[in-house]
Each structure stands twice: as C-alpha cells, then as structure tokens.
C-alpha cells in the first residue's frame, strides 16, 4: 500500500518543508496581509482513496448554511480542496465542507468555472471545540472520471479573526484571479495508475401531488458519463421539489431579483452561458415534458447542446414547443477564451460570439455579438490593481427588433449605453477604522435615433469603524425618459451592517428622495442567527412609500438539520400592497447520495384566493 503523508503548517508567512518530499510549501493570505492563525494540513494517499486532515483556530467558527452545495465561502467558516491529475490541466474537481459538515462538490472547467450539480459519494467529518475546528475528508478514487498518475492539490479556507474575515490559500493569488483556480494546484505527489470508468446513472421518481385534485407523476433522470463526455436526459420532470422562487421581496434593495436556475437538467454546463448578455436564460423556460443534453469537456474545448419539448407555449416569440440551444467554448491559453452559440425555437433563430481577453496588469476585456432578427453588441474593459483600485468601462447597443425567447433582457431595447464605474478600497491592520472604500459611476444612454434616454450616476462611501460594523452612504441622481416624460430622480442611501453577536448579523437600510415625480421612502431591517450548527434563520421587515402607494413587507426563512442528511427548509412572506401571503415548507431525507424523499407544502393566499399544493416524492438513484 502506497502511503504518502504531507504536512503543511501556517505560522504567519513562514515556509515549511513538506515530508517526505523535498519541496517548500507555504500558505498565503488572500489579500496579501499577514496570516493570523496557525493551520495544519495532512494528506494521505492509499490504494483506493486519499484523505485530507485540516485543523485551524478561528476567533469564532461561523456556522451558517445547512444545504448541500450552497454555502458562501466569504461569509462562513469553510475549507476547499481543488484536485487535478496533470500540472497543465484546465479541468479538475472541487471538494469543500463548512463548519456544519455540509458538503459541496463540483467539476471545474476552464480553470475556474465550477459546476456544483456534479454530486458524488465521499465522506467528511467536522469537529468544533471552542474556537478550534477540525476537518477530515476522504475521497475514493472511483469518483474521478480519468486516470490519476499524480495528484495536484490546492487548498483555500475561510477563518474569522478579531479584525474580520480572513481568506487563506496555498498559493499567492495574482490580482484579478479567482481564489478557486486550478492554475494554483501545484502541490503534487504520485498516485496509483488505476482506471475507474464512470458509468451510467438512472434516477426514477414517483410523486403524488395534491392541489385541486390528487395526481400521480412518474419521471426519470438519466445520465451517462464516459471520460470527457456526458449525456443527460430527463423525462417528465417535476418542479415542486426544486427550492421555490421564494425570494420574491428583496428587502436589501428596492429592485427586482434575478432568480437562479436550480433544475438539475439545466445546471450542469450552465456556466458556459454566463455571458454579459445572457442569450440563454433557462429560467425563461417553463414546464417541459422532456429533453436531452450532450456535454463534452476537454482541456481547451467545451461543448453543451440540448433539445427539449415544452409542456405549453407561453412565449410571445414562437408557437413552437421544440427548443434547441448549443454553445462551444475554446480556450487555447490563459489569456483568451472564445464562445460560439446557437439557439432555435420554431422560426426564431439566434446566434452569436463571445470573446474574453485576460491581459497583463490586471486588464480584462469582454466582447459579445448576438443576432436574433435584431442585434445586440456588448463591450467592456476592466482593470483591478493590487492597490485596491478598480475601473470598469463599456458600451452596449440593443436593436428594437431583437427577438430571442430565451434571452434575459434587463434594460430597454432600441437604446445604446456607455458607462464608467470606478472605486478604491483600502484595508488597514489596526483595531479601529479597519477598511474604507469609495466608488462612483456614470451611465449615459440614448435612443438609437439620438434622443436622450437616461443619465444615471452614483457615489458610495463605506467605512468600517471596527471590524464588525459597516457604514455606507450613497447618492444616486438619475434623469430618465418614461411614458413620454423626462423625470429627474435622486435617491439618498444610508445603510449599516454589524454583528450583534459572534454568529449573528444585523442589517439596516434607509432610502429617501424623489422617484418618477413621487416622494420616496424605503426602510428595511434584516437579521440572521445560527444555533449550534443545526438551525439557521433569517428574517426582515420593510416599508415602502412611493407617492400614494404604500407596502409593508415581512419575511422569515431558514433551515434546520436535526441529524445528518435530514433537512427542513422553510420560508414565509407577506406583502400588504399585493395582499399576498406565501408559505413554503420542504422536508428532505437524503438516504443515499442522489436518492431522496421530499415532502413539500406550498401555500399562497392572495386576497380571498387560497392555493395549497402538497407533494410527496421518492427518487432513487441507480448507478452502474
């Protein structure tokens, strides 16, 4: 049995030898500051698996998320491991665990694009004692899709110090790069040459739904993975066990919320469609009867293509129920990536190209051209510097006759816009006044005939008088054209966020000014807390007064995990303006990875109309 043990110690910024190999290994703070706490990592490689043991102190071990694949690496204690099998590989794997022993795993493409819909069976354990936490991870080699002649590791984790959040990594992160980047996985040692071909999975489900009447629904998910290729199919998918669109009220900003995709058929490979102009926004697709998707992932080339049949026609663009979408990405080097995409629905055809340039001195350039009867053109240049200064400038033009049923269009058609945004952040190593930032921006928009459409500016200043308190003041002047009239709007913003206690935070925001000829007042108060890693709750209340209309909003959401693989998620909200009350309860028992029992209750009361669908679903994943 081959056993290799590697120890790494974080003692400020000192270098330590790795045993039994003669090479140096050092941990680096993410922002270039001096690390605060000591950490210890031990890696052991066996014939059929490898293990990672991690230990670090923390001023407080912040526990938050109780849902798999969903925790935030910048707001709670968590440990991440990235693995690849070749030093120059752009493809790899990510494994992570937070202080609640909630797992996150995913495939990594093009160095830093993470797809968390990939779920495998591996084990982890977490032990928290006072301000010290230990993580143990065991990864069987059979979860990987290819041979492993060598293992290349990269570690990063989040801890909390008296001065605030500290992010630490095993590689000095260059300016402008993500902390989750396979380029930094240079900690290596030999592994056994053993092939584990990956396989076929079949997940049938049975759901009983009671709404107006009792109905039974049967469907299945199929997936075949062979090396770099993935073939996925879904038949009669249901939507009740997907976490509902529950964040209807955005109490932290008086703006609409863009809902994220959570349906398994769409999530893998969806990162390819994350472009400045979202030509394929899968949330625009409602219920569908079935679909097939093919994916190919090479070091420099990726492809995703799908075809599906919608359950009903709700699009104003095309009466067809058949939709196809395909995209190919080519990244020959770290400095350049090119994407080509093609979308059809009936007689509607959309196509385009997206190019990204990663240039020296922290410059990034994004450009995209999309055609679907009309055209959309997008250009953006960004730069981030080590001094904390950043700047972003760009332009976008959207024709009036642009028609693409899957596009997410967040601004007005028949306009051309130019913008510039900039800011600077300074961090100080002291007890008081630990950080300060200033940002400003200006957007200039015209109709395509040259008539003015909108002028929008903003200035924000933020200070941290102490590490756990944030104070922000902002001004947003705007002149805009609406319903044949030009309005001069101006909003003033005051907000604060601070830690009420070590595991809890509190947020307050007040906006006032003039909006489209009406006086505006917007007030909200939000907070969250966590108890023993079992319960997480978040709630808030808000008040909006705009001209003659008023709205009072309240919400409460959270999750509870009384034992491993058992979850309860809840959400409730109330709006007086819409006279609507929502309640969402979801019970989930994951009796095996990929196999679940769901009980879902959704209750909506709108005026005198009441809807209470209830669903029981059992899904079992078979792997061959």
More confident residue, 554 or 18: 554
Q: What is the DSSP letter of 84?
A: E
More confident residue, 176 or 431: 431
* pLDDT > 50? residue 285: yes
In 3D, which of 22, 50, 19, 25 has the Cα closest to residue 39? 25
**DSSP 3-state of 142:** helix
* pLDDT > 90? residue 446: yes
Report residue 62 as tokens: 């912040």
Pairing mode of beta strands 164-169, 322-333: unpaired
More confident residue, 424 or 197: 424
Pairing mode of beta strands 549-563, 535-546: antiparallel
Q: How do residues 401-433 score in pLDDT, each as one tens digit?
A: 999 989 988 778 899 999 999 999 887 767 778
Say which CATH number the domain at 56 has.
2.60.40.1190
How large is the average pLDDT for residues 591-605? 85
456 occurs within a structural domain: no
Of 121-130, 232-241, 410-419, 460-469, where does the model show the most confidence?
Answer: 410-419
Q: Give the pLDDT confidence score for residue 416 in this predicted structure.
A: 95
Q: Give the pLDDT confidence score for residue 171 in this predicted structure.
A: 73
The total number of structural domains that make up the chain:
1
* pLDDT > 60? residue 207: yes
Which sign, positive or negative, has the C-alpha torsion 109, 115, 118, 119? positive
Distance CA 345, CA 353 (A): 19
Distance CA 239, CA 507 (A): 33
180 occurs within a structural domain: yes
* pLDDT > 50? residue 17: no
Residue 407: CB atoms within 10 A of its CB come to 21
Distance CA 64, CA 531 (A): 9
335 occurs within a structural domain: no
Of 39-48, 160-169, 454-463, 614-623, where does the model show the most confidence?
Answer: 454-463
34 occurs within a structural domain: yes
Residue numbers of the domain that contains 140 = 5-190
> Which stretch of 442-446, 552-556, 590-594, 609-613 has the lowest confidence by average pLDDT?
590-594
* pLDDT > 50? residue 19: no
* pLDDT > 60? residue 179: yes
What's phi and psi for 382, nearest 5 deg?
A: -125, 155
Predicted TM-score (pTM) of this structure: 0.75
Q: How do residues 321-338 score in pLDDT, each as one tens digit?
A: 899 999 999 988 778 889
The fraction of the chain above a pLDDT of 90, given in percent, is: 25
* pLDDT > 60? residue 205: yes
| Residue 24 pLDDT class (50, 70, 90 cuts) | very low
Taking CA atoms, 491 is separated from 360, 440, 515, 518, 577, in Å, by 38, 14, 8, 11, 22
| Residue 76 pLDDT class (50, 70, 90 cuts) | confident
Mean pLDDT for the chain overall: 80
Strand partners, 138: 51, 123
226 occurs within a structural domain: no
> Which stretch of 110-114, 410-414, 607-611 has the lowest confidence by average pLDDT?
110-114
Cis peptide, bond prior to residue 348, ω within 30 of zero: no
In the numeric block, the tokens 């030999």 are attached to: 190
| Count of residues in the chain | 624
Residue 233 half-sphere exposure toward CB, CA atoms < 13 A: 10
In 3D, which of 621, 603, 600 has the Cα closest to residue 240? 600
Report residue 517 as tokens: 């000829």
Taking CA atoms, 377 is separated from 331, 417, 527, 606, in Å, by 22, 11, 41, 41
In 3D, which of 328, 321, 368, 367 has the Cα closest to residue 348? 321
587 occurs within a structural domain: no
In 3D, which of 507, 443, 502, 436 has the Cα closest to residue 476? 443
* pLDDT > 50? residue 23: no
Contact 281, 409 (CB under 8 A): no
Taking CA atoms, 480 is separated from 415, 430, 489, in Å, by 12, 44, 8
Distance CA 192, CA 149 (A): 6
Residue 100: CB atoms within 10 A of its CB come to 25
What's phi and psi for 532, nearest 5 deg?
A: 55, 25
Residue 519: CB atoms within 10 A of its CB come to 11
Q: How do residues 336-355 score in pLDDT, each as one tens digit?
A: 889 999 999 888 899 999 99
521 occurs within a structural domain: no
395 occurs within a structural domain: no
Distance CA 35, CA 146 (A): 36
């Amino acid at each position: 049995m081959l056993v290799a043990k590697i120890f790494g110690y974080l003692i400020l910024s000192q270098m330590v030898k790795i045993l039994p190999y003669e090479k140096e290994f050092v941990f680096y703070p993410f922002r270039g500051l001096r690390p605060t706490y000591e950490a210890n990592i031990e890696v052991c490689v066996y014939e059929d698996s490898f293990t990672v043991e991690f230990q670090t102190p923390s001023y407080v071990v912040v526990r938050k998320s109780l849902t798999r694949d969903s925790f935030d690496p910048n707001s709670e204690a968590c440990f991440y491991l990235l693995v690849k099998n070749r030093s120059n590989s752009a493809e790899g794997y990510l494994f992570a665990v937070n202080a609640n022993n909630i797992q996150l795993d995913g495939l990594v493409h093009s160095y830093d694009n993470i797809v968390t819909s990939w779920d495998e069976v591996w084990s982890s354990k977490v032990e928290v004692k006072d301000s010290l936490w230990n993580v143990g991870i065991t990864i069987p080699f059979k979860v990987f899709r290819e041979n492993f002649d060598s293992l290349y590791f990269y570690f990063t984790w989040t801890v909390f110090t008296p001065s605030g959040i500290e992010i630490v990594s095993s590689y000095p992160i260059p300016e402008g790069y993500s902390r989750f980047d396979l380029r930094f996985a240079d900690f290596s040692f030999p592994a056994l040459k053993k092939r584990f071909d990956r396989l076929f999975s079949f997940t049938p489900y049975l759901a009983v739904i009671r709404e107006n009447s009792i109905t039974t629904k049967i469907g299945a998910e199929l997936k075949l993975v062979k090396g770099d290729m993935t073939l996925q199919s879904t038949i009669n998918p249901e939507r009740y066990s997907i976490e509902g669109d529950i964040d209807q009220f955005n109490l932290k900003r008086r703006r609409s919320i863009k809902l994220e995709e959570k349906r398994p058929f769409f999530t893998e490979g969806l990162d390819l469609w994350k472009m400045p102009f979202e030509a394929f926004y899968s949330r625009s697709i409602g219920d569908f009867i079935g679909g097939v998707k093919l994916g190919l992932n090479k070091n420099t080339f990726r492809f995703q293509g799908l075809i599906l049949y919608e359950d009903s026609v709700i699009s104003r663009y095309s009466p067809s129920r058949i939709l196809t979408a395909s995209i190919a990405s080519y990244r020959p080097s770290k400095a350049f990536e090119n994407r080509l995409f093609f979308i059809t629905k009936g007689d509607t055809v959309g196509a385009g190209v997206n190019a990204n340039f990663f240039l020296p001195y922290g410059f990034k350039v994004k450009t995209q051209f999309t055609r679907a009867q009309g055209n959309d053109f997008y250009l953006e240049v960004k730069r981030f510097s080590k001094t904390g200064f950043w700047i972003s400038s760009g332009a976008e033009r959207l024709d009036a006759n642009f028609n693409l049923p899957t596009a997410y269009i967040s601004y007005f058609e028949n306009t051309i816009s130019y913008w510039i945004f900039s800011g600077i952040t300074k961090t100080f190593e002291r007890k008081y006044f630990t950080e300060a930032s200033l940002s400003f921006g200006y957007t200039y928009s015209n109709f395509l005939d040259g008539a003015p459409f909108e002028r929008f500016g903003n200035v924000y200043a933020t200070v941290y008088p102490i590490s756990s308190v944030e104070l922000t003041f902002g001004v947003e002047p705007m002149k805009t054209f609406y319903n044949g009239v030009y309005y001069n709007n101006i909003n003033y913003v005051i907000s604060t966020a601070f830690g009420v206690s070590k595991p809890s935070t509190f947020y307050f925001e007040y906006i006032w000014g003039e909006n489209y000829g009406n006086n505006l007042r917007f007030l909200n108060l939000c907070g969250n807390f966590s108890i023993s890693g079992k319960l997480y709750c978040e709630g808030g209340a808000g008040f909006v007064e705009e001209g003659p209309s008023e709205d009072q909003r309240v919400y409460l959401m959270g999750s509870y995990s009384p034992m491993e693989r058992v979850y309860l998620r809840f959400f409730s909200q109330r709006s007086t303006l819409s006279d609507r009350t929502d309640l969402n309860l979801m019970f989930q028992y994951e009796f095996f990875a990929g196999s679940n029992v769901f009980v879902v209750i959704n209750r909506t009361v709108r005026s005198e109309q009441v809807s209470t669908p209830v669903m029981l679903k059992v899904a079992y994943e078979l792997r061959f």
